[in-house]
């Protein structure tokens, strides 16, 4: 492709509203252009790179016996109503009505549509196991799109769905995806780790996320390198410090003026925060069939810990949660800043599982300016739910070997879910087993965001001059530059033709522009190899060859330029494959 004909242009500066490097560079290098918040056009360079990412994904899905299909982007609402998710998913779902006034949905995922196919196509155990996948457009109306392609509203996803006769089959396909995902990311040049995660709106029994570790990540991960434990903080657990046993002391009400925080309370009474009980007031949305109701939640954790909202949502089987308003708190008989379960009414009391083992805590008296000393679970109040509802923290001990965990940030670039029979049961996806009995199809769901993956590759591979694409996903392998005059133009045209004839992907900068401009654009676009043909290079013996990841350049005679460039590309691939093996081993 000639740069003079390329439907793109580089920018000297990134727009002011860009906050991460990948967003800035993809804009400046002419890969993407915004249409609206979280909605982008992919220009030719990006499209070529995305196509290569998609091909890697296809090859790895095919290697685990996947069959590619394509499902609609527009869904009738009734199938989502049948699964129940129509009532559970909030405004991030794109809803509209067609001309016949039917409720419709813009696809945000395809479990329901796969289930509809399964119940129509699968009849017998002889048709199982199966694995189908697609690379398709999705829509999620994110409230805060950010970081370019990292969090968008319209995106392309590879989603695959495993179908099995039993859980053992699902376990095998889940493991196959787990391995295939590491191969995909390694082939794209992206280091990732796998962490346990919340099943969220997908439902099911188990889930993992594949995380690219970076300070720009929105997710906090808890990891212990010694024990190899890793989990999203949303679900991470820890070995909680069990306090020494004590005889329960008598309940005592004491004045504690102006102590609406744990810090103020601990300071006034000269006790550690771990000797207090923290009350958190929330209102949960509970979905029952096609009906929703709100439930006041009073969550109790030890004062030195924090409530984990995802764990709390899961503990009460809610679809959403929000902070309680002042009038809602008062209606239960509680007092904000001085709250506890003692004496409250019409509240679902949820306590962290460490609370029953923590004697003689200080808790609110539900009276402004007063707390109770020596509050004991079981004697002074009881809970409706006892569960792990606290957030793991840096320094906490991991649940496997009791080694300290550290908190790191990451971007989710893929996820895998053991759905089990969640959708088979609700959508009647059954097959006849060997005995002729109807059994539910056991399903798994597996996703990779293609655009987000590309953005993370750009985030990983760049320097202060621009992008540095791995050979596997680079839009072109070679960037050919020429300083125009009659002789060099003719030689460059011939080399361009020869390289293309040899099957080398070349971006030819044939513009009538200064060499410095071309160098800057070449570094910005970041193709693996740069060739520069000038009068000076000819005087020195040929054409200048430079790798994007090197500061050194060499002169290559023109008569051996094509085989030398092919050899350089082969070397890049050899190095890349070595890195793949190293990453997968890790």
Assess whether 200 and 59 both reside in one domain: yes
Confidence of residue 584 (pLDDT cuts 50, 70, 90): low
| Within-domain flag for 247 | no
What CATH number has the domain bearing residue 304? 3.90.960.10
Which tokens sit at 536? 């000076």
**Could you tell me if 166 and 193 lie in one domain?**
yes
Sole residue written with tokens 């609370």: 355
Assess if residue 41 is contained within a domain: no
∠ CA 423-426-431, nearest 5°, is: 70
How many beta carbons lie within 10 A of that of residue 569, not counting itself? 18
CA 416 to chain centre: 11
Model confidence pLDDT, tens digit, residues 41-55:
999 999 999 999 999
Residues 496 and 453 grouped into a single domain: no
439 and 323 assigned to the same domain: no
Q: Is the dihedral of CA 434, 438, 439, 444 positive or negative?
A: positive
Same structural domain, 574 and 449: no
User: By the 8 A CB rule, do 477 and 506 touch?
Assistant: yes
Beta bridge partner(s), residue 466: 463
**C-alpha pair distances (Å), 120 with each of 113, 420, 441:** 11, 19, 12
Pairing of strands 466-467, 462-463: antiparallel
The closest alpha carbon to 433, from 65, 67, 131, 122, belongs to 122
Contact 562, 542 (CB under 8 A): no
In a domain, residue 243? The reply is: no
Instruction: Work out the mean pLDDT of the chain and round it to a whole number.
Output: 94
The reply to whether 162 falls in a domain is yes
Structure tokens at 226: 């010694």
> What does residue 463 show for φ and ψ, rounded to 5 degrees?
-140, -165
Looking at the structure, tell me whether residues 212 and 161 fall in a common domain. Answer: yes
**Which pLDDT band, with edges at 50, 70 and 90, does 582 fall under?**
low
* Cis peptide preceding 529, ω within 30 of 0: no
Helix, strand, coil in percent for the chain, rounding step 5:
30, 30, 35
Contacts with 445 (C-beta within 8 Å, 6 or more apart), sequence order: 109, 111, 159, 160, 161, 202, 204, 416, 417, 419
Q: Are residues 53 and 152 in the same domain?
A: yes
Q: What is the CATH number of the domain that holds 546?
A: 3.40.50.800
Rounded to whole angstroms, the Cα distance separating 148 from 84 reads 32
Tokens of 469: 């694409």
Q: Last residue of a domain, which of 396, 430, 459?
A: 459
Whether residue 371 is found in the same domain as residue 413: no
pLDDT of residue 586: 41
- Quick check: 555 pLDDT over 90? yes
Q: What is the mean pLDDT of residues 516-545?
A: 96
Instruction: Specify the range with the lowest mean pLDDT, choosing from 354-363, 435-444, 485-494.
Output: 485-494
Contact indicator for 404, 238 with CB cutoff of 8 Å: no
475-517 pLDDT, tens digit per residue, is 999 999 998 787 888 999 999 999 999 999 999 999 999 999 9
User: Whole domain around residue 539: which residue ranges?
Assistant: 476-585
Start-to-end Cα distance in the chain:
38
Q: What percent of the chain has pLDDT over 90?
A: 90
Specify whether the CB–CB gap between 149 and 26 falls below 8 A. yes
Q: What is the pLDDT of residues 454-473, one digit of tens each?
A: 999 999 999 999 999 999 99
- Does one domain contain both 58 and 152? yes
Q: Within a domain: residue 493?
A: yes
Q: pLDDT digits over 88-115, tens only?
A: 898 999 999 999 999 999 999 999 999 9
Q: How many domains does the chain have?
A: 3
Q: Are the beta carbons of 107 and 140 closer than 8 angstroms?
A: no
Same domain, 306 and 412: no
Q: Nearest-CA neighbor of 427 among 82, 55, 61? A: 82
* Alpha-carbon gap, residue 202 to 190, rounded angstroms: 26
- Give the separation between CA 586 and CA 583, rounded to whole angstroms: 5
CB atoms within 10 A of CB 216: 19
Q: Does 257 reside within a domain?
A: yes
* Residue 5, domain member (yes or no): no
Residue 274 has pLDDT above 90, yes or no: yes
Interatomic CA distance for residues 473 and 470, integer angstroms: 6
Question: Is 65 in the same domain as 200?
Answer: yes
What letter would DSSP give residue 569? H
The residues that bridge with 74 in the sheet, in sequence order, are 106
Q: Which long-range contacts (CB under 8 A, 24 or more apart) does 40-47 make?
A: 40/148, 40/149, 40/152, 40/154, 40/451, 42/451, 43/7, 43/8, 44/1, 44/6, 44/7, 44/8, 44/475, 45/6, 45/8, 45/475, 45/525, 46/454, 46/475
Domain boundary (334, 356, 387) is at 387
The pLDDT tens digits of the residues spanning 283-320 come to 999 888 778 899 999 999 999 999 999 999 999 999 88
Residues 507 and 455 in one domain: no
**Sheet strand arrangement including 361-367:** 252-255, 370-375, 361-367
Q: What is the CATH number of the domain that holds 437?
A: 3.30.930.10
Rounded CA-CA distance 96/26 in Å is 32
Does a structural domain hold residue 236?
no
Question: Domain ends where: 429, 459, 489?
Answer: 459
Residue whose structure tokens are 């580089």:
10
Contact 25, 18 (CB under 8 A): no
């Amino acid at each position: 492709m000639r740069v003079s004909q390329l439907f793109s242009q580089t920018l000297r500066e990134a727009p002011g509203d860009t906050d991460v490097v990948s967003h800035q560079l993809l804009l400046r290098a002419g890969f993407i252009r915004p249409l609206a918040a979280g909605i982008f056009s992919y220009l030719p360079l990006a499209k070529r790179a995305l196509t290569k990412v998609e091909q890697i994904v296809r090859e790895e899905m095919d290697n685990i016996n996947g069959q590619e299909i394509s499902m609609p982007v527009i869904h009738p609402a009734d199938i989502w109503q049948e699964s129940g998710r129509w009532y559970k998913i909030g405004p991030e779902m794109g809803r509209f009505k067609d001309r016949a006034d039917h409720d419709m949905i813009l696809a945000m995922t395809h479990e329901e549509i796969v289930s509809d196919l399964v119940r129509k196509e699968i009849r017998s155990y002889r048709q199982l196991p199966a694995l189908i996948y697609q690379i398709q457009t999705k829509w999620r109306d994110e409230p805060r799109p950010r970081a370019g392609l990292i969090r968008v509203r319209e995106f392309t996803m590879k989603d695959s769905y495993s179908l099995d006769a039993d859980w053992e089959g699902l376990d095998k396909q889940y493991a196959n995806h787990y391995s295939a995902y590491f191969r995909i990311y390694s082939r794209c040049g992206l280091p990732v780790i796998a962490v346990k995660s919340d099943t969220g709106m997908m439902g099911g029994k188990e889930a993992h996320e594949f995380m690219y570790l970076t300070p720009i990540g929105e997710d906090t991960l808890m990891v212990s390198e010694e024990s190899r434990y890793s989990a999203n903080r949303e679900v991470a657990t820890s070995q909680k410090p069990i306090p020494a046993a004590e005889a329960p002391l008598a309940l005592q009400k004491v004045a504690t003026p102006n102590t609406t925080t744990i810090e103020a309370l601990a300071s006034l009474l000269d006790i550690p925060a771990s000797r207090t009980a923290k009350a958190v007031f929330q209102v949960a949305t509970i979905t029952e069939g096609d009906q929703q109701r709100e439930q006041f939640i009073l969550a109790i954790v030890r004062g030195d810990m924090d409530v984990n909202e995802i764990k709390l949502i899961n503990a009460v089987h809610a679809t959403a949660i929000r902070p309680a308003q002042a009038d809602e708190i008062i209606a239960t008989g509680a007092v904000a800043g001085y709250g506890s379960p003692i004496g409250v009414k019409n509240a679902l009391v949820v306590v962290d599982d460490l609370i029953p083992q923590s004697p003689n805590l200080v808790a609110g008296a539900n009276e402004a300016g007063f707390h109770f000393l020596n509050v004991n679970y079981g004697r002074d109040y009881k809970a409706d739910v006892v569960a792990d509802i606290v957030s793991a923290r840096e320094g906490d001990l991991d649940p496997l070997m009791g080694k300290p965990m550290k908190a790191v940030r990451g971007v989710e670039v893929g996820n895998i879910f053991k759905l089990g029979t969640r959708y088979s049961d609700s959508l009647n996806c059954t097959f006849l087993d060997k005995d002729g009995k109807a059994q539910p199809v056991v399903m798994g769901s597996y996703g990779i965001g293609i655009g987000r993956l590309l953005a993370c590759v750009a985030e990983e591979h760049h320097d202060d001059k621009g992008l540095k694409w791995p050979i596997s996903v680079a839009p072109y392998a070679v960037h050919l530059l020429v300083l125009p005059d009659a002789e060099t133009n003719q030689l460059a045209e011939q080399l361009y033709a020869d390289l293309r004839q040899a099957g080398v992907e070349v971006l030819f900068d044939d513009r009538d522009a200064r060499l410095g401009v071309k160098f800057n654009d070449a570094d910005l676009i970041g193709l693996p190899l740069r060739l520069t043909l000038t009068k000076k290079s000819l005087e020195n013996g040929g054409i200048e060859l430079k790798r994007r990841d090197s500061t050194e350049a060499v002169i290559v005679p023109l008569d051996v330029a094509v085989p030398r460039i092919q050899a350089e590309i082969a070397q890049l691939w050899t190095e890349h494959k070595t890195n793949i093996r190293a990453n997968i081993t890790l």
